[in-house]
Amino acid sequence: MPPLPPITQALLLINVAVFCLAQFVGPWFLQLFALWPLGGNFLPWQVGTYSFLHGSIGHLFFNMLGLWMFGAELERLWGTRRYLQFYGASVLAAAVAQLLVAALLGSPYPTVGASGGLFGLLLAFGMLFPNRIIMPLFPPIPMKARNFVILFGAIELALGVYSPAGGVAHFAHLGGMVGGFVMIRYWRGQPPFGRRRR
């Protein structure tokens, strides 16, 4: 197994360290760094810091597993600078989507987790390696990466529409995918953008 590239490794370590720290410092940590709806406890830096917080060990584990599975290979392909730009764009797009949905629904609850960035990485993996066979944990059925992305995107959309107050930020996940999709089109110089970026 090749060594983890530096940004993926740093993200894994930071997420684990922040989770451990949050267990000791008290609820003020969540109040300062989780993504709160606009007009509540919202602070500008929360559009980035929320992605390093997790609600449980299971939440952390599955997000870090996805980051390792999809992020490491994308970082090897893109290099550290482009990979960090892409992950950041996905996290920010997920935050914007969640803020909009929270405002529409009048939700008072904060959002935490790296899932928005992870869903952006998942989309990129499906676009760049569409025929790669992967074995998801749920369902444990081998499938092409492209089909896996389409399936998970459809599930998130359905859950977001039919259970918007279910405690999971489904539209943040979709926002991360949209942010990743826009970033790839920007790099490729595809509409609505101009020529290809290097």
Catalytic residues: 115, 173
Helix (H, G, I), strand (E, B) or coil at 107: coil
Angle among Cα 194, 124, 64 to the nearest 5 degrees reads 140
Identify the CA nearest to 83 among candidates 73, 96, 68.
73
Helix (H, G, I), strand (E, B) or coil at 40: coil
Residue 153 C-alpha from the chain's centroid? 13
Is-cis flag, bond preceding 139, omega within 30? yes
Structure tokens at 118: 């992870």
Using CB atoms within 10 Å of the CB of residue 150, give its burial: 0 to 12 exposed, 13 to 18 middle, 19+ buried: middle
Contact 140, 194 (CB under 8 A): no
Contact 91, 115 (CB under 8 A): no
